[in-house]
A and B are shown apart, each in its own frame.
Chain A
């Protein structure tokens, strides 16, 4: 009697090598200097940015030992004119606002002490990086549908609010009218803008403004109906679980450069390392997703083309590229992918470029049990197959005999 067990076979294809390894780091400057992501400051306004800088430099008196910061200029300067930042304004995939909204600048400084072994302790290092999106994809059908439902409830609410606002204006209210007349009378013809502003800042004007606004609020609360409250509940039910998913074209660009200040002198510097990444992708809710990544590194810590060996060749430039296509629908049990990676060294002829092509497929039998199959060509040119389906078929073959 034969039994087939689904087991995990020993891997012949290194499944840790994926196209995603070539992706741009979230903070290029910090990545180039080996600063951990958890150490990166990400202030959301100017005050917290200044606070962070002050703390790192001991009130602007010393250089920090390790300091990394990511700034999104569009969002950090609250008073700048931002354009439409509601869900409607953020729906577009490309345009000048997209670049501005997605731009992140990263700065890093590393001043190692004598115990440091990974980096030259006699030098200090500074890094600068940037990251932005040219295309970020548009809302997928599920997102658009959820927004349309919320909008329909909001449209009904607007009708209620218009009714309330019109009623407030039309219902006779001597107190309101009197206060408005007093407010009007505080101004006279020929006043300069300075004088007008002085009136607006004055106690009397602000008191009346506050009372009038409160009267509107009180009226609104009295006139709010159960139907409006029900609309609020329906909106909240949808809005509290709302998530944005994007499909279509995406294109990100990131780059960074770092400098070594030898003997910790700012007048004695040289280029330490640099990187440039670009990622182009396309996601479709039916046909899957494709991705293309290009990475150019100057003087990386490890050389990908040498199986990630430590870089002992100075001033080396590497070019790596990856392409991937994934087919799989949301909630589907089956998905398949095809990945190709190319790696090379541009500035040295000692190591040949190499490439790898792998096909993966998996099928979920139960929630935590999958049948997997991999087939491909490794960097060294060998053809490999892997996955527990292959192992299971091999196991079956071992028990079969001729009768």
Chain B
């Protein structure tokens, strides 16, 4: 009887050890998956917001010589857009129909404390959808970021105006 009790205890301890090992393995796997997901998230983050047409936010820089680029895409398919972009008061582009293709604004070092102003108006010309959208893509800093604004119009042919103000900031 005593022997079987000892044996039982051994068996239980053994299974507990095995269980702990298994749990540790599982946890390690989960953690590595989480880390991988975060890594992906760190390089491209989308700050999406339904029914939002204005933005006053910041984009973090790291003071390096890496180039910071800007791209602006209008939507949805078949809508008519017009936009102007200014950087620290200087015109980057004025009254541009359609998208603003990826353009270098400057290096991380040069862009610190600068202010980007994007204004756009989008008219609903599509007969398939009443959704309008504006996606602002900034790349080159520590994290690439997409800022998504969108609004659905209630009446056919209506317009939506967008104002985006972005501060470039290098933390000290």
Listed in ascending order, the chain A residues whose CB lies under 8 Å from chain B are: 75, 82-90, 147, 150-151, 154-155, 157-158, 161-162, 164-166, 168-169, 176, 180, 183-184, 187-189, 191-194, 196-197, 200, 209, 212-217, 220, 232, 235-243
Evaluate whether A188 and B171 lie within 8 angstroms (CB atoms) in the complex, with A151-B80, A215-B56, A216-B163 already known. yes
Note all chain A residues with C-beta closer than 8 A to B39: 194
Whether A84 and B56, one on each chain, are in contact in the complex, defined by CB atoms closer than 8 angstroms, is no
- Bound complex: CA of A88 vs CA of B95, how far in Å? 13
B161 touches A220 (CB 8 A): yes
Q: Contact string, B58-100, partner A, CB cutoff 8 A, digits 1/0?
A: 1010000000000001111111111110100100001101110
**In the A-B complex, the 4 residue pairs with the closest CB atoms:** A240-B157, A88-B98, A239-B157, A193-B42
Q: Which residue of A lies closest to B167 (CB)?
A: A180
> B77 — which chain A residues lie within 8 A by C-beta?
75, 82, 85-86, 90
Task: Please give, as numbers and ranges, the residues of chain A lying within 8 Å of B80 by CB-CB distance.
Answer: 86-88, 147, 150-151, 154, 239
Cβ 8 A contact of A184, one of B56, B73, B75, B169: B169
Q: Known: A147-B80, A193-B142, A209-B57. Is A162-B119 also a contact (CB below 8 A)?
A: yes
With A166-B117, A197-B143: A86-B157 Cβ-Cβ less than 8 Å: no
- CA separation between A220 and B166, bound complex, in Å? 16
Contacts of A239 in B (CB 8 A): 80, 123-125, 156-159
Q: Are B54 and A216 in contact (CB under 8 A)?
A: yes
A-contacting residues, B31-57, CB 8 Å: 38-39, 41-43, 45, 47, 52-57
B136 CB to closest chain A CB (Å) equals 13
Q: Does B4 contact A (CB under 8 A)?
A: no
CA distance A240 to B157 in the complex (A): 4
Q: Which residue of B lies closest to A215 (CB)?
A: B56
Residue with the greatest number of chain A CB neighbours at <10 A, chosen from B52, B86, B161, B165: B161
Contact A196 B143 (CB under 8 A): yes
Given contacts A169-B165, A197-B143, 11 further A-B contacts (CB under 8 A): A150-B123, A154-B159, A162-B117, A165-B163, A176-B56, A180-B58, A193-B42, A196-B142, A216-B54, A236-B123, A237-B157
Which single residue of chain A is at the shortest CB-CB distance from B158?
A236
B43–A193 CB distance below 8 A: yes
Residues of B within 8 A of A238 (CB): 157
Q: List 28 A-B contacts (CB under 8 A).
A: A85-B78, A87-B98, A88-B81, A88-B98, A89-B98, A89-B99, A147-B80, A150-B125, A154-B80, A157-B159, A158-B120, A165-B119, A166-B89, A183-B58, A188-B171, A196-B60, A216-B54, A216-B165, A232-B159, A235-B157, A236-B157, A236-B158, A236-B159, A237-B157, A239-B123, A239-B125, A242-B125, A243-B127
Alpha-carbon separation in the docked complex, A189 to B112 (Å)? 13
B81 pairs with A86, CB closer than 8 A: yes
Query: Main secondary structure on chain B at its contact with chain A?
Result: strand
Residues on A with beta carbons closer than 8 Å to the beta carbon of B42: 192-194, 196-197
Chain A residues in 8 Å Cβ range of B172: 188-189
When the two chains form their complex, are residues B82 and A154 in contact, meaning their CB atoms are under 8 A apart? Answer: yes
Q: A161-B119, A161-B163, A236-B157 are in contact. Are A151 and B82 (CB under 8 A)?
A: yes
Q: Assess the B165–A165 pair: CB atoms within 8 A.
A: yes
Q: How far is the CA of A217 from the CA of B120 in the complex (A)?
A: 14
Query: Which residues of the other chain, B, contact A157 by a CB distance below 8 angstroms?
Result: 82, 121, 159, 161
For A232, list chain B residues within 8 Å (CB): 158-159
Tell me, rounded to whole Å, the shortest Cβ–Cβ distance linking A240 to chain B. Answer: 3
Residue B171 contacts which of A161, A164, A191 (CB distance < 8 angstroms)? A191
Residue numbers in A under 8 Å from B127 (CB-CB): 243
Please give, as numbers and ranges, the residues of chain B lying within 8 Å of A155 by CB-CB distance.
82, 95
Residues of chain B within 8 A (CB-CB) of A169 are 115, 117, 165
Interfacial chain A residues near B47, Cβ < 8 Å: 200
In the docked arrangement, what's the CA distance between A183 and B60, Å? 11
Complex Cα gap A216–B149 (Å): 14
B121 to chain A, nearest CB (A): 5
Cα distance A332–B122 when bound, in Å? 36
CA distance A150 to B78 in the complex (A): 14
Q: Contact: B98 with A84, CB < 8 Å?
A: yes
- With the chains together, A209 CA to B55 CA distance in Å? 8
Decide: B169 and A158 in contact? CB cutoff 8 A.
Answer: no
Contacts of A214 in B (CB 8 A): 54
Chain A residues, Cβ within 8 Å of B60 = 187, 196
Cβ B79 vs Cβ A87 within 8 A: yes
Minimum CB–CB distance for B102 against chain A, Å: 10
- Residue from the set B80, B95, B158 with the largest chain A CB neighbour count within 10 Å: B80
